[in-house]
Chains A and B, each alone.
Chain A
Amino acid sequence: MADETLAPVPTILDTFIELLPEIGKAAGETGLMMLICLTAAVIVGGALGILVFLTSPGQVLGRYRRFNLVANGFINVFRSFPFIILLVAVSPFTRHIVGTSIGPLAASVPLSLAAIFYFARIIEQTLRDVPRGVIEAAEAMGASPLQIVTQVLLVEARSGLILAVTITAVSFLSYSAVAGVVGGGGIGDLAIRYGYYRFQTDVMLITIVLLVVLVQGIQFFGQWLARRVDKR
């Protein structure tokens, strides 16, 4: 007779509770990577996108044609790197500025680089939705280029800009999982370590559900906010 007092098979809930500290740590790492790369994207990428837009032909600073060509080239070059290759290619640079090439801080370097150029392109395209005539009206009223940016472009395109942040956040949530492969940590890393290497399908499931909920949340909130501020 077999022993009737066998330990019960752990349910997915048990696994979840058992893994809670690890999940919490992973979520924190993902949060840190997202915070760094989105901040870099919005500040540096946003500024770059605005400048590329302003210097494009027929726009307010269209006379700075050379800047436009160079900046556009830069964006295209960085955007054409497959992320995993960018990750490896910049690792000497990463080690130089972070001191190590593993961990969430190190992973934030290639993530930020990719996010900056990704966001710059989206911003430049989003600003194209602002009718030239509206910008021209502001010029005719004596607005400076800076005033045109802060009082016209960022106001008129604000719902598109919110959607741009939303789509960047979703994309880079998934990129941050790739960064996990090279020791970046985070939720994606957790999924790969337990689910892929150790065949713990339940752990993989938990992390996937977590990611789906996160993506839905970001998307839903972004769309809700974009709709709310759109008076057009």
Chain B
Amino acid sequence: MTTQNTDSPALALRGVSKSFRTPDGQQVGVHPTDLDVAPGEIHGIIGFSGAGKSTLLRLANLLERPDAGQVVVHGQDLMTLSPADLRTARQRIGMIFQHFNLLHNRTVADNVAFPLRIAGADEARINERVKTCLEFVGLSEKAGVYPAQLSGGQKQRVAIARALAPEPHVLLADEPTSALDPRTTQSLLEVLADVNRRLGVTILLVSHEMGVIRRLCHRVSVMEGGSIVERLTIANGRIPPDSQLAQWLREYGDAEGDAEEAAAEPAPQHLLSEAAHG
């Protein structure tokens, strides 16, 4: 059942649920939920704060262990793996975060090398991957610099290079642009689009920013109260106008303040091909 074929999803959450024990009782993070992400897809998860987006994303690499259900990545059920095998599986699942989470006492190059060192790769391969990945995100000249000397956009590029270093099939992104200004966000989205298009990496991306979803995602799952309440296909950045999501946009607007246009107008074609420097 779990052998990989071309039709099987790159990532599948089957009936996963998660609640947390807190001082004031059980707190539901995610109700039993299914999610399939196709190979090569960019799948968005959108919703208000506290909807359970991050929890759902963190279930995908078992940073949170689900209370029930299956997490299948590359045809492998992560729940059945030993701790050591899970660590090996995680090496092929990249992850980036809102606050970058770089190692501050390591240079850019050493940050990118980190996942490879952990995996025990040899120095020749490490050097080659570091070079390739820093080139990909346009930061080759920053290899010897410490993260403190970089802008937010540059830090996120380093985080992307780090995630790409072990050649992952899947990239998990939790609010990757939410700490960045609109222009930097724009150029970062181009990098992510490139990761998907040029490297064929499947991306599962959480954001509360409509612009991010419209410009990047092929499909989107809308979350509310720990459940996926709507699943939409985004064609050319267009949100189906009769959807719950379009309704919310009319009601609450967009992070960029163009709610009306967001729901009606198609966004610019997928994305520019050359990554601008952030």
A residues at B contact (CB < 8 Å):
131, 133-134, 136-144, 147, 151-152, 155-156, 158, 229-232
The answer to whether the Cβ of B63 comes within 8 Å of any Cβ in the partner chain is: yes
Bound form: Cα–Cα A137–B163 in Å: 10
Q: List 25 A-B contacts (CB under 8 A).
A: A131-B101, A134-B102, A134-B103, A134-B104, A136-B63, A137-B101, A140-B63, A140-B93, A141-B91, A141-B118, A141-B162, A142-B88, A142-B115, A142-B118, A147-B118, A151-B114, A151-B118, A155-B103, A155-B105, A156-B104, A156-B105, A231-B106, A231-B146, A232-B104, A232-B105
Given A140-B172, A231-B104, 7 extra CB contacts under 8 A: A134-B102, A136-B101, A137-B97, A140-B63, A140-B93, A141-B115, A155-B105
Question: Beyond A152-B103, A156-B104, is A140–B61 a contact (Cβ under 8 Å)?
Answer: yes
Bound form: Cα–Cα A155–B110 in Å: 12
User: What are the residues of chain A within 8 A of B229 when measuring CB–CB?
Assistant: none
Output the least CB separation between B51 and chain A (Å): 20
The answer to whether the Cβ of B119 comes within 8 Å of any Cβ in the partner chain is: yes
The answer to whether A133 touches B99 (Cβ under 8 A) is yes
User: What are the residues of chain B within 8 A of A156 when measuring CB–CB?
Assistant: 103-105
User: What are the residues of chain A within 8 A of B114 when measuring CB–CB?
Assistant: 138, 141, 151
Output the least CB separation between B78 and chain A (Å): 12
Output the least CB separation between A141 and chain B (Å): 4
Partner of A142, one of B87, B146, B162: B87
User: What are the residues of chain B within 8 A of A134 when measuring CB–CB?
Assistant: 101-104
The answer to whether A231 touches B105 (Cβ under 8 A) is yes
Output the least CB separation between A232 and chain B (Å): 4
The answer to whether the Cβ of B210 comes within 8 Å of any Cβ in the partner chain is: no
Output the least CB separation between A31 and chain B (Å): 31
